[in-house]
Chain A
Amino acid sequence: MNAALSIMIFDENRIRAAIIEEGLREAGHTQVVLLHDIVGLARQIELIGPDVIVIDIETPNRDMLEHLFQLTRSVRKPIAMFVDRSDTLSIEAAVEAGVSAYVVDGLRKERVKPILDMAVSRFKAFSRLQQELADAKSALEERKIIDRAKGILMKSRKLTEDEAYALLRQTAMNEKKKLADIAQSVVMAAAILGS
């Protein structure tokens, strides 16, 4: 079997799907199809007859796919998830990354493994990016709330900016809490007390 492998990526997250597609194309795979919607999936699978389907493990639609495989009495029986059952490490990596896959029975594992590895590493990279974005957002939120708390203290206690900040930090240390949490309390108290 030397023909190019046909790969289908089913992911409701379009950005992530595009990232995986790009990786596969870079690796020389030309027959890659992206699907984002369960509607019409059955027809697409019938039409394309993919060798490998990469699917997000978080989607409940896996059960629908398995029903489709049951209905099509094709000899090309898809096997769930992993090429090598004995490779626990790669299984764990895939589950953690959130990747699941179906591979047509009989494909040599040397051909499929790089595809799955690629999907796993791109899924991981994507969630790392998302985490970084979420962290950056919350850091920004924290800075905003600390600035507001400083402003409230400066006004009500007639402090300089540095003194207001020092007071917040000292309180946080005394209370064993995060600076942002103390700032949040100050802002909330001010809102309730109307100062």
Chain B
Amino acid sequence: MSFIPTGIDQYKSGLTAPATIRTESAKLVRAGFIPLVDAAVLIAASEFGFAAREGIQIDLVKDVSWANIRDRLAFRQFDIAHMLAPMPVASALGLGSNPSPTIAPFMLGRGGNAITLSVELYRRMQEKAGLAGHEDALTNAKALKLVIEEMRAKSEALPVLGMTYPFSSHNYELRYWLSAGGIHPEEDVKLVVVPPPMTSDALSAGAIDGFCVGAPWNMVAVSREVGRIVAVKEDIWPSSPEKVIGARPEWAEQNPETLSRLIVALDRAAAWCDVLDNRRDLAQILAEPRYLDVPFDILHRVLMGRFTTDPNGIERTVPDYFTFHRQGANFPWISQAQWIFSQMVRWGQVTYSPEAHRQVASAFRPDLYRSALGSRADIPVTDVRIEGNAEDDVFIDGATFDPEDIRGYVARSPIRNTGAGTTDQSDV
């Protein structure tokens, strides 16, 4: 195992992490992952020596579906796993096909998602709304609404949009973006699940008209000239939780030291991934067949946030398309678990109750994160905050989220599920 020291040293000063103790034999941690760029921190921890320095050997196992990841973690095939942030929340609420207790002590960073529409659909939006090509995500959503209205008037089939999993950031982000543009995700479009590697094919075959998935699949669709990127995750909500490290609570209790050292290793790996000069090395590793098996060139551009958004060559640079470590990007805010819960309530996946509200708080574990890393200037001292309240961290629709008032927050959303799932039926 090689250790590439580039960039790590500048993060060493100021860290008050526990001293690393090497035991005679490395502790083996079996980790499941899905081949996506946001597994980078986990892969870097294993590949660039950060885990080895903490006396841990990470056995990385590539998998094909989130359902497999969940089940294999639950059935002890994995000790930890690369997971969607909403998965531990769903488990805490008993939702899904195999809910079993899962905790998230570490977030794998921010960013990475985007919304891509078919070139055909986007050209129609351009024509209808006079888009020149550099409009923001909200303007694009409103343009899509105009096209959908026209489709309705002409009795055309409404757009079919793909996402990755019912309990995914992609599902909630796509719905959030549509709603911000005045589009009802359950009435004006049809949402389906499409495995990310299949999105380009599904788009070019006309099976779907757009999708919201993680990197690098949006860029892949543009490079294949079938897709047009209309929004990135930062446009919808920069702090929006994405992937986490999930673990079984009983494994965490039985292996407190391993978990603590793992968090230290992940923290160092995340800091290393954040250094732009390291992203070439990172892209090279991720490109390998045993990881993402995607061309280096695309991965490097994605990691640098340099986008071609349109096959016609329109470019966009998103400086923080991936934030792996800075600004507390690994801190599991309980208020973010609660925001995920609010979206589950908003879309009728679960009914609000004070008990459910409490259960959700146990899914994210900032206490474990803090106890592994000690106190440090960039580690928040509270677990809950009002989300979307900072100048550089606003929701696309300008709303703020107060975790104390989930019912009010959902009730104020003009577009939401009004079926059996929600408790409040007042407006719309």
Q: How many residues of A contact B (CB 8 A)?
A: 26
**Quick check: B64 and A67 within 8 Å, CB to CB?**
no
| Bitwise interface map of B from 393 to 428 toward A, beta carbon under 8 Å scored 1, else 0 | 000000000000000000000000000100000000
**Quick check: A67 and B192 within 8 Å, CB to CB?**
yes
| Contact A61/B97 with A80-B67, A95-B77 known, Cβ cut-off 8 Å | no
Q: Give the contacts of A41-74 with B (CB-CB under 8 A).
A: 57-67, 69-70, 73
| Bitwise interface map of A from 69 to 102 toward B, beta carbon under 8 Å scored 1, else 0 | 1100100001111100100100110010000101
Tally the A-B contacts, defined by beta carbons under 8 Å.
66
B192 is contacted by which of A58, A62, A64, A73 (Cβ under 8 Å)? A64
B68 at the interface (CB under 8 A from A): yes
| Contact A63/B193 with A69-B97, A73-B420, A88-B76 known, Cβ cut-off 8 Å | yes
Report the separation of the CA atoms of residues A65 and B71 in the bound assembly, to the nearest whole angstrom.
14
Residues of B within 8 A of A92 (CB): 77
**Quick check: A60 and B165 within 8 Å, CB to CB?**
no
Report the separation of the CA atoms of residues A151 and B179 in the bound assembly, to the nearest whole angstrom.
73
Min CB distance, B83 to chain A, in Å? 13
Report the separation of the CA atoms of residues A57 and B72 in the bound assembly, to the nearest whole angstrom.
11
Report the separation of the CA atoms of residues A60 and B213 in the bound assembly, to the nearest whole angstrom.
14
Min CB distance, A70 to chain B, in Å? 4
Q: Which residues of A approach B to under 8 Å, CB–CB?
A: 57-67, 69-70, 73, 78-82, 85, 88, 91-92, 95, 100, 102
Min CB distance, A157 to chain B, in Å? 40
**Quick check: B75 and A60 within 8 Å, CB to CB?**
no
Q: Which of B131-139, B194-202, B264-272, B306-314 contacts A (4 or more CB under 8 A)?
A: B194-202
Report the separation of the CA atoms of residues A69 and B166 in the bound assembly, to the nearest whole angstrom.
10
| Contact A60/B166 with A82-B75, A100-B71 known, Cβ cut-off 8 Å | no
Report the separation of the CA atoms of residues A81 and B195 in the bound assembly, to the nearest whole angstrom.
20
Report the separation of the CA atoms of residues A102 and B193 in the bound assembly, to the nearest whole angstrom.
18
- List 22 A-B residue pairs with CB atoms under 8 Å apart, sorted by A's residue number: A57-B68, A58-B64, A59-B65, A60-B64, A60-B197, A61-B65, A61-B195, A62-B64, A62-B68, A63-B66, A64-B192, A64-B194, A66-B193, A79-B97, A79-B98, A80-B98, A82-B75, A85-B75, A88-B76, A91-B75, A100-B67, A100-B68
10 shortest interchain CB distances as A-B pairs: A60-B195, A80-B98, A67-B193, A80-B97, A62-B67, A62-B65, A64-B193, A70-B166, A60-B64, A91-B75
Min CB distance, A101 to chain B, in Å? 11
Q: Which residue of B lies closest to A71 (CB)?
A: B166
Residues of B within 8 A of A100 (CB): 67-68, 71
Min CB distance, B294 to chain A, in Å? 16
**Quick check: A63 and B349 within 8 Å, CB to CB?**
no
Q: Give the contacts of B24-81 with A (CB-CB under 8 A).
A: 64-68, 70-72, 75-77
Min CB distance, A114 to chain B, in Å? 20
**Contacts A66-B165, A80-B70 given; 18 further ones with Cβ under 8 A?**
A60-B64, A62-B67, A62-B68, A63-B65, A64-B192, A64-B193, A66-B67, A67-B192, A69-B97, A70-B166, A78-B97, A80-B67, A80-B98, A91-B75, A95-B72, A95-B75, A100-B67, A100-B68
**Quick check: B195 and A63 within 8 Å, CB to CB?**
yes
**Quick check: A67 and B71 within 8 Å, CB to CB?**
no
Q: Which residue of B lies closest to A57 (CB)?
A: B68
Report the separation of the CA atoms of residues A64 and B420 in the bound assembly, to the nearest whole angstrom.
23
Min CB distance, A58 to chain B, in Å? 6
Min CB distance, A93 to chain B, in Å? 11
**Quick check: B195 and A66 within 8 Å, CB to CB?**
no
**Quick check: A88 and B75 within 8 Å, CB to CB?**
yes
Residues of B within 8 A of A82 (CB): 75
Report the separation of the CA atoms of residues A88 and B349 in the bound assembly, to the nearest whole angstrom.
31
A81 is contacted by which of B71, B76, B194, B197 (Cβ under 8 Å)? B71
Q: Which residue of B lies closest to A58 (CB)?
A: B64
Report the separation of the CA atoms of residues A79 and B420 in the bound assembly, to the nearest whole angstrom.
22
A66 is contacted by which of B97, B192, B198 (Cβ under 8 Å)? B97
| Bitwise interface map of B from 95 to 133 toward A, beta carbon under 8 Å scored 1, else 0 | 011100000000000000000000000000000000000
